[in-house]
Amino acid sequence: MTRRRGADAHGRGGPGGDRGARFGRVLRTIALAVALAGVAAGGSPPARAVEPLAIRVGIAIEQPSLRLAADGPVVAAEPSGGQELLPGTAWIASPTPDGIEISANTFGPVVRLTPQAGFLRVDGRPYRGVIEIRRTAAGRLVAIDDVELEEYLYGVIKGEISPRWPAEAVKAQAVAARTLAVHRLASSGRGAAGGYDLSATTDDQVYLGVAGEDPAATAAVDATRALLVTYEGRPIFAAYHSNSGGHTEDSESVWGTAYPYLRGVPDPYALGAPGFAWDARLPLASIEASLRRGGIDVPALDQIEPGRVTPWGRSITVRLRGEDGSAQEISANRFRLLVGAGVVRSTMFTIARSGADVSFAGRGAGHGVGLDQWGARALAARGYTFEKILQYYYTGVAVEQRY
């Protein structure tokens, strides 16, 4: 997952430069280097990395405390080498002035919890892998699931689409989600700043852990194991969204960056999807308050108008006018995320003033870039393979085994 998020926002804490930031990452780093060495050089990487790729997922961010539980004993280890064996039970993890307290045991600012049987639960949700707890500079806690990439994907699919969809659509989603994750791993250091590579929310891609696993989703991940979408030999930024509204979008219209494989394409396949057309009515005062919380201040907001618009009718910007005549123009995608992505569901909309309210009438859902999930469903129903689906929505790409 932009959050920059792979799915729908695809945009994009704890101290990050010390041994704790590196603790537990060596295996992942070695595996990633082996897997992607040929990719970076434009060559052919080995069929399988020496070790499985792993990914660090932020599953609880900046929390005052965390509810933890385990099915059996848990080894709690610090980067310095100290460790305790915690009995399988439930605990509260709380920040201390210098570290973290769990079950009357006090640790430093980073502790890794490795279950000896079953799963660990964070705030009631079970996860595979190792859970790392970090105390942030603000005196709060971050929980990170350090998990093998393929097992991570088991918990992603159901958070993004229904595993009951045609199998080729589910496989396309699995490959896109894997590619997005590997692109994050291969790109610059988000993990160095926050200790994790992706968040578990729509800021990147939704990750539900073990509770979100489904046999059909697991089958799709296993059937496409190690397959990535590549452009000129490199994993792509595999943006995806729910419904394009009839035409996908060029990436620069949403994020300002042109990716040669994220080109708008005609997309009539999702036109019959549930919720294709939508409308919303919001008080101007409510919109003004939402914008202010996001750092955009338009005193006495009076008008919202379309700014620049793409050839396919999607707003690139919106213009905000105050009663005093002041005006500013902001990204339409940022506008909808601040107001509420579940309310203003896409940037393909028209705007009308209705007294003290503003009405939006739109089509589609999400940012409109890359893979259209409902379009993939329709194409799979028509007999398209997952490779053909991906090559329709991502321009000039290949689908290749990369580790």
Closest CA to 190 of 138, 122, 144, 258: 144
Alpha carbons 105 and 375: distance in angstroms, whole number: 52
pLDDT tens for 221-250 read 999 999 999 999 999 999 999 999 999 999
Share above pLDDT 90 across residues of the chain, in percent, rounded to a whole number: 75
pLDDT tens for 322-339 read 988 889 999 999 999 999
E strand map for 226-356 = 227-231, 234-235, 240-241, 277-283, 301-306, 317-322, 327-331, 349-354
Closest CA to 286 of 326, 237, 238, 344: 344
pLDDT tens for 1-50 read 333 334 554 332 222 333 333 333 433 443 454 455 444 444 444 444 44
Q: What is the pLDDT of residue 272?
A: 84
Q: What is the pLDDT of residue 402?
A: 83
The neighbouring-strand residues paired with 94 are: 101
Alpha carbons 5 and 231: distance in angstroms, whole number: 20
Closest CA to 280 of 202, 203, 335: 335
Contact criterion met (CB below 8 Å) for 361 and 238: no
Q: What confidence tier does 343 reach under pLDDT thresholds 50, 70, 90? A: very high
Q: What angle do CA 150, 238, 10 make, to 5 degrees?
A: 100
Region at 118 (left for phi over 0; alpha for psi -120 to 50; beta for the rest): left
pLDDT tens for 48-95 read 444 678 999 999 999 999 999 999 999 999 998 888 999 888 999 999
C-alpha distance across the termini of the chain, in Å: 20
Mean pLDDT of 204-223: 97
Closest CA to 181 of 135, 145, 143, 219: 145
Instruction: List the chain domain ranges.
Output: 1-243+371-403, 277-363
Q: How many residues does the chain have?
A: 403
pLDDT tens for 275-301 read 899 999 999 999 999 999 999 988 889
